[in-house]
Amino acid sequence: MKKITLSIILASLLFIQLQAFSQDEPIAKKTYQTAFTLSPPTIDGFMNDSCWNNVDWGNDFIQTQPYENKPPSQKTAFKILYDDNNLYVFIRAYDTEADQISRRISRRDNFDGDMVEINIDSYYDQQTAFSFTAMASGAKGDEAVSKDGNNWDSSWNPIWFLKTSIDDKGWCAEMRIPFSQLRFGKKDEHIWGIQVMRHIFRLEERSTWQFIPKGSPGMVHLFGELHGIKNIKPKKQLELLPYTLAKVERFEKDGDNPFLDGKKSSFSAGLDGKAAITNDLTLDFSINPDFGQVEADPSEVNLSAFESYFSERRPFFIEGKDIFQFQPSNTIVINNMGADNLFYSRRIGRFPHYYPDLDDNEYADLPEATTILGAMKLSGKTKKGLSIGIMESLTANEKATIDNNGERRKESVEPLTNYFVGRVLQDFKKGETTLGGIVTAVNRDIDNPALNFLPTSAYTGGIDFSHSWKERTWYLKGNLEFSHIAGDEEAILELQQSSARYYQRPDATHVSVDSTRTSLSGYGGTLRFGRSSQKRIQFETSFTLRSPGLEFNDIGYMRHSDVIHHGSWLAYYLREPFSIFRNFYLNTNYWMYWDFSGKRLSTFANTNFNSQFKNKWRLNGNFTWISENTSTNMLRGGPSFIVPGSKEMSLNISTDQSKKLAFYMGSYHGIGDVNSYHYQEYWGGMEARPLNALSISLEPAFSINDNKLQYVDNCEVNDDQRYLFATLKQKTAVFIFRLNYTFSPELSLEYYGQPFISAGKYSDYKCITEPHADHFADRFRLFGENEVSYDTNDNTYTFSEDGIGSYTIDNPDFNFRQFRSNLVIRWEYKPGSTLFLVWSQGRTGSVPDGSFDYGRDFGELFDVKPHNVFLVKFSYWFSL
C-alpha cells in the first residue's frame, strides 16, 4: 500500500509540473442592450404589448449539454425592458415538437419539466447572482447564487411575477422582477452580469446565451453583460409577514400521568420581517417564529459514540444561510469531518438539555423545543465586495412542570441563552481573492445548579482565505479557527471526557483529565491546493489539523478533535458524449489520520466513478480500502484499540428520470478483515408521473449489520474497568412514501409517510483484554456460559468473572418501530401570503426483543396509539 500511495503522490507532482504553464482560454463576453419603457407590459405570457418593440431579441444560444459548443436542437430568444421599479423579461422557447413540451406542474423550486431561467448579477461582483426560473407549466423557481455559482440556495423566495403560454411554435415565459428583490448600488448607469438558460426536459439538453464551458471554475464571473439601465434607485423596502397558528394534539391517555390526558391545544401568533437598512444590507427578523409545518427528521437507531447530524429545515435559518457558513474541513479529499461547521443552526431552539431527576410517583412535562423569543439577521454585500452577516437569537429559560400527586413545581431544564454569529468576507479582484472571518458566541444564564454541566460561555472564531490564478483554474484555500469554552468544573470535565476527545484514555500520553479546569481552548486549520478547470484532469491535496481542545458544539457541529488529516484527490472527466456514454467521471483518493502525539491512526484509498449513458440511464459506484487502524473512541474512554482493516464498495443505477415511470436501485457492502464485520445495505426507488400534476414515489431500503465487536457498556468492578462488547446482528427496514398533487403552482397537496423498523440481537458477549494484541482474536476474551446469566424478570444480564467480581447490565436487545407522516395543503393565495393546513402523525414503540419480522413488526407498529397534530397557519405578506 505504501508503494501505491507513493505512486499517487509522484503522479500528482508530475501532473502539477506538466500543467503548470497551461490555462483555459479566455471566453468572449456577450452583451445585451436594454431600454426604458414608460408603458410597462401586462404580464400574461403573450407578447401583445408594443413596448417590446423597443428592444432587439437576444439569441444565438449555444448548447452546453450534452454536446458543448454546438447548435441547440431548438432555438431560444429573449428580450429585456425596465422601468423605475421593475425589470421585465420575455423568453421565447421555440419547439418544433410543441406537443412534446413537458409541463410537469409542481410546487415552487421543484425545477421539473421544460424550463427557462435568467440569472442576474446585479451587484456585478462576479460572485453572486439572483436566479429566476420559469417552468412551462407556469411554476416558479428562484435561487440566491453565491461563491461564483458554486452554491445555489433555493430557500430564497423573492416576490416576483410570471405567466407562461404555449402555442404551435413552442412556449413563452413573461416575468416582472421588482428591483426591490434585487441588490445593487447607487449609480447613474449600471452594468449587470446576466445569463439566460434553457432546459429541454425530454432531451436533457441545456443551452445558454453566454457560452460557459463545462468544468469552468465558477460561472458568475463568466456571465454576459446587461447594458442600458440608467438612473434607477435602490429600493429600501419594508416587508412584513405576520402569522397566526391554531394547533390541536390528540394522543394516548395515560391515567397515571396527569400531563398525558389525551389532548392539547394552543394558539399563537408571530411576525417575520425584512427591512432594507441601506442599499446593501437587509435586516431579517422574527418574533416567536413558528416551525410547525416543517417535515420531521428521518428515523434512525444511533449506536455510535457521536451525535447524529440532521439538516436544517426551518425557513428563517435556511434563507441566506450560505453567508454564515464556515466549514473548517470542507475539502474534496474524503474525511470524516465534512459536516462540521462553526455554525449549526439546529442548536437554536433545540430540545432542552436537561431532564429532571424524578422521585417515585412524579411526572414531568417538558417543552418539545426551546422557545425562540426573537431572532434577527443582518446580511448583504457592499458595492466594494464586502459580505456581511450578523445573526442574534435569544432563547427562553425553559422550565419543566413536575407533578407529585397534584402538587406542582417548576424546574429549569434549559437556561436563558443568547446566540450570536458574525461573519464577514471581502472579495478582491472580483472574487479571485477572498479574505473572511467569523466570530460566534453562546452565553447562558444558568440559575439551576443541575444545569452546571453546560458551559456558561462558548466563543469560537476563524479566518479563511482563497486565492485563484490563471483564469481561476489554480487555487489555494485555507482557514484557521479557535475556540474558548468557560464554565463550572463539571461542564469542563464533561467536555474533556466527551466522545470528541476522551482525555481519560489510559494510554494517551499527550492529553490528561484535569477535574479542576474551568475553561478549555483549542485551535485548528486547513490548507487546500488544487486545480479546477475545463481540462480533463483535476486534483486537490489538503492538510487539516485540530488540537485536542478544539470545541464548537455549543453553536456549531463537531465530532472529532485531536486529529491531523492529509490526503490527495485526482479526477479524470470525459464531459462530451462518446461511444455509449453521455459523460464519464473517475477519481481516486488517499487520506491518512494521525493524532497530536504523532501516532498514525489509519490509511484509506478510494476510487469512484460516475457515468451517464446516451439513453440517460446513470451508473455510479466506488471502492474503498481501509488499513488496519487504531481507534481512539471504540472503547468510549478506554484505551485505543487496533481495528482490523476492511473493504467497502457500492453500486447505483437509475433509469431516465424524464420518463413517466423512473427507477433507481443500489447496494453497499462493507467487509472487515478476519471476518470482523459484514454490513450490507440495499435500496431502491420508483417515481411515477401518471399526470403532470401528480407524482408518487416509493423508496424502500433494507440493511443487515453483522458486527463481531459492537460496544455494549463500560463497567467498573472493584477498581477494574471492564469494556463489554458483543456480536450484534441488526436488521433495519425503512419505507418512504411521497404523494404530491399540484392543483396549480399556488395550491398543492403533499403527503410524506415513513415506517421504520430496526431490531438488534446481541450474543457472544466478550470483554476487551489486550486491545493492541497482534491477532484480532487475542484482543478480547469470550465469556463462557457459566459466566453469563440472564434474569427474565428484570431483563438483565449478570457477568461473573473469577478474580474480578460480578456486575449487571440491562439487556441491550432492541426492536424499535416508528412511523412519521405529514399531510400538508399549501395555498399561496397571493404572492408571499400562504395558508397551511397540516396533519402530522407519529407512532413510536419498542420492545426488548432483538428478533426481526417485518410483517409482525409493521402490524404491531400500527397497533401503537398515534400522536396526531392538526394545525392551521395563516400568514399575510405586505410591504411598506
Q: Structural domain boundaries of the chain?
A: 30-230, 323-558, 693-880
The rounded distance, in Å, linking the Cα atoms of 81 and 90 is 9
Predicted pLDDT at 290? 66
Classified as helix, coil or strand, 18 is helix
pLDDT at 292: 57
Given this model, what pLDDT does residue 25 score? Answer: 61
Query: What is the pLDDT at residue 295?
Result: 61
Q: Which region, left, alpha or beta, applies to residue 119 given φ > 0 means left and ψ of -120 to 50 means alpha? A: beta
What is the per-residue pLDDT for 499?
92
Looking at residue 300, what is its pLDDT?
80
Residue 316 φ/ψ, nearest 5 degrees: -60, -40
Q: What is the pLDDT of residue 123?
A: 87
Biggest distance spanned by C-alpha atoms of the chain: 98
Q: Looking at the structure, give the CATH architecture of the domain made up of residues 30-230.
A: Sandwich (2.60)
pLDDT of residue 10: 41
Give CA–CA dist 659/203, Å, rounded: 11
Record the cell numbers describing residue 726, joined without a space: 458483543
If residue 10 lies in a helix (H) or strand (E), which one and from where to where? helix 2-19
Walk along the chain (880 residues) in steps of 10 and give the mean pLDDT of each run: 43 44 68 96 95 96 94 97 96 96 91 96 92 96 91 88 96 96 86 97 96 92 96 82 92 90 90 82 82 67 83 77 89 90 92 92 91 89 87 94 92 96 93 95 96 97 95 94 97 95 94 96 97 88 97 95 96 94 96 95 97 96 97 94 97 95 97 96 96 96 97 89 95 96 94 96 95 96 93 92 89 95 93 92 92 92 93 90
* Global confidence as pTM: 0.88
Strand partners of residue 806: 800
Euclidean distance between CA atoms 756 and 699, whole angstroms? 12
Closest CA to 123 of 142, 104, 145: 145
Contact call for residues 26 and 476 (beta carbons, < 8 A): no
Collapsed DSSP state (helix, strand, coil) of residue 15: helix
* CB distance 466 to 476 below 8 Å: yes
